[in-house]
Amino acid sequence: MGMFVGTQRINSLGHLEIGGCDTVELAEMFGTPLFVIDEKLVRENCRKYRRAFEEYYRGEARVAYAAKAFISTAMCKLTQQEGLWMDVSSEGELFTAMAANFPSNRIYMHGNYKTDEELRYSLNVDVHCIVVDSIDELYSLNSIAKSLGKKARILLRITPGVEAHTHEYIRTGQVDTKFGIQLAGAQAFEATKLALSMDCLELLGFHCHIGSQVFEIEPYRITIELMVEFMAQVKEELGFVTRELNLGGGLGIRYTDTDDPPSIEEFIKAISEATMEECAKHSLQLPILIVEPGRSIIGEAGTTLYRIGVIKEIQGVRTYVSVDGGMSDNPRPALYGARYRAIVANKADREPDFLCTIVGRHCEADVLIKDIKIAKPEKGDILAVLCTGAYHYAMASNYNRFTRPAVVLVNDGKADLIIAREKREDLIRNDIIPERLLNEDKQ
């Protein structure tokens, strides 16, 4: 597989082009750092999920975009137009979806600790369903629903005892996580009984999420086996028929050449077949099958453009190439040791034969990419870091009082700003100097 995805290509000027737009021109027009989103690729990924379900799952299926990966009002519009549902996990994400007029009856509300205010807000806007994460939440949601004179539709988030990340997964009875209700030790069964006994809750089914950036299908198969077995148990013992089974997100993407995730189609085929097989084995009707992909919808569609500044060569050690962003727009290298591919956008046709380390300009080591080969860089060049659509802007901060970058959506030669660059004034918008400190000035 080559370096590029979606509409990325090298144009006649030898520049990286995305969505028919020259990235060097984008950097001039919108400034740097800049997030560039390939609209065609986002839409194509949404369609791949939906098409695969149509082809391989015999029951009803839903694709709920996991907003935590990247959300803005324009992204809500895009996913809505593609017929997706949405998974939100905070009041702020829900507010953004509402502001974009995303239909509330296509929203799943998540969170291991939803405040009472968030639960009230979710019920008031009438989300499709609240994914209840704990026994505690069952009680508070039931009483909030009662006070509002409503019935809350819920899924129970179950921790099935399978945990998967990239190439590894573990299967244990107990999973050490703050999320969900353990399948082990009959906790999930007791929670189901409790939910069914509460008069202001309507249980629709179950949810689970086994990890993120997952490269293997096997842990999903095991999870489906466990979840469907549980569905059979609650049907048998409590007479409860599961209407919805939500398997969460997690499908991995290709950040570097060594990453080799299954395709969206392979993933959906495998989980559809496993669900149908397991349901047949237990003589259960097929549930509405739901997935919540975030990274695999938006990750590869995003590219960050930086302007290269200081280049520092330490003879016999390494060359540091500084860019005008860093951990405030991409905390993932610091958080997870994440690796990336990158290219000098204005020298995209040149041999990447210069070994260097890309660093940001924050007051930390702020290493973005250690030991990467790119075309020989010079001050003023544009560096494109690929695969930065998911959990980048969403995790951006104002560390060192950096302003958060702009985000542009590109397609067929058009570039539209979908999130404006923060201004210096935005940084002090919420700052307050107490009167008594002002008084000191006068002395």
Active site residues: 363
Give the count of residues interacting with ligand PLP (CB under 6 A). Answer: 16
State the nearest-atom distance from the C-beta of 433 to ligand PLP, in Å: 39
State the nearest-atom distance from the C-beta of 110 to ligand PLP, in Å: 5
Q: Is 30 helix (H, G, I), strand (E, B) or coil?
A: helix
Place of tokens 């002090």: 428
Stretch that binds ligand PLP, among 52-60, 133-141, 142-150, 246-254 (CB under 6 A): 246-254
Q: Is 64 helix (H, G, I), strand (E, B) or coil?
A: strand
Binding to ligand PLP by residue 292, rule CB under 6 A?
A: yes
Binding to ligand PLP by residue 159, rule CB under 6 A?
A: no
Cβ proximity to ligand PLP: between 69 and 154 the closer is 69
Residues 6 or more apart whose CB falls under 8 angstroms from that of 327 comprise 333, 334, 360, 362, 364, 366, 368, 397, 399
Binding to ligand PLP by residue 212, rule CB under 6 A?
A: yes
Cβ-based burial of 439 (10 A; exposed 0-12, middle 13-18, buried ≥19)? exposed
For 407, phi then psi, to 5°, come to -125, 130
Cβ proximity to ligand PLP: between 7 and 213 the closer is 213
> Strand runs (DSSP E) across 82-236, as ranges?
85-88, 107-109, 129-132, 152-159, 162-165, 168-171, 181-182, 201-207
Cβ proximity to ligand PLP: between 246 and 275 the closer is 246
Stretch that binds ligand PLP, among 72-80, 119-127, 184-192, 287-295 (CB under 6 A): 287-295
Q: How far, rounded to the nearest angstrom, does the alpha carbon of residue 252 sit from its chain's CA centroid?
A: 11
Binding to ligand PLP by residue 248, rule CB under 6 A?
A: yes
Cβ proximity to ligand PLP: between 207 and 347 the closer is 207
State the nearest-atom distance from the C-beta of 108 to ligand PLP, in Å: 9
Q: Alpha-carbon distance 118 to 59, whole Å?
A: 32
Check: CB of residue 301 under 8 Å from CB of residue 36.
no
State the nearest-atom distance from the C-beta of 45 to ligand PLP, in Å: 11
Q: State both tokens at 71.
A: 């959300």
Check: CB of residue 267 under 8 Å from CB of residue 310.
no
State the nearest-atom distance from the C-beta of 251 to ligand PLP, in Å: 6
Nearest to 15 by CA among 306, 348, 302: 348
Cβ proximity to ligand PLP: between 133 and 278 the closer is 133
For 33, 324, 325, the CA distances from 380, given in Å and listed in that order, are 13, 10, 14
Check: CB of residue 284 under 8 Å from CB of residue 242.
yes
Stretch that binds ligand PLP, among 21-29, 137-145, 247-255, 258-266 (CB under 6 A): 247-255
Binding to ligand PLP by residue 87, rule CB under 6 A?
A: yes
**From residue 357 to residue 396, what is the string marking binding to ligand PLP with x (rule CB under 6 A)?**
---------------------------------x------
State the nearest-atom distance from the C-beta of 267 to ligand PLP, in Å: 10
Q: Kindly tell me which residue out of 24, 42, 61, 66 binds ligand PLP, with binding defined by CB under 6 A.
A: 66
Binding to ligand PLP by residue 295, rule CB under 6 A?
A: yes
Q: Kindly tell me which residue out of 6, 293, 302, 389 binds ligand PLP, with binding defined by CB under 6 A.
A: 293
Check: CB of residue 216 under 8 Å from CB of residue 169.
yes
State the nearest-atom distance from the C-beta of 207 to ligand PLP, in Å: 7
Pairing of strands 152-159, 181-182: parallel
Cβ proximity to ligand PLP: between 251 and 374 the closer is 251
Secondary structure element (H or E) that encloses residue 342, with its range: strand 342-344
Binding to ligand PLP by residue 69, rule CB under 6 A?
A: yes
Cβ proximity to ligand PLP: between 148 and 288 the closer is 288
Nearest to 409 by CA among 66, 103, 42: 42
Q: How far, rounded to the nearest angstrom, does the alpha carbon of residue 246 sit from its chain's CA centroid?
A: 16
Cβ proximity to ligand PLP: between 331 and 377 the closer is 331
Cβ proximity to ligand PLP: between 19 and 293 the closer is 293
Q: State both tokens at 328.
A: 């405030």
**From residue 109 to residue 138, what is the string marking binding to ligand PLP with x (rule CB under 6 A)?**
-x----------------------------
Stretch that binds ligand PLP, among 115-123, 274-282, 291-299, 403-411 (CB under 6 A): 291-299
Binding to ligand PLP by residue 180, rule CB under 6 A?
A: no
| Crossing angle between the packed helical segments 39-56 and 73-81, to the nearest 10 degrees | 40
R_g of the chain computed on alpha carbons: 24
Q: Kindly tell me which residue out of 106, 209, 347, 362 binds ligand PLP, with binding defined by CB under 6 A.
A: 209
Q: Alpha-carbon distance 176 to 184, whole Å?
A: 12
- The residues of the shown chain that bind ligand PLP, judged by CB under 6 A, are 66, 69, 87, 110, 209, 212, 248-251, 292-296, 390
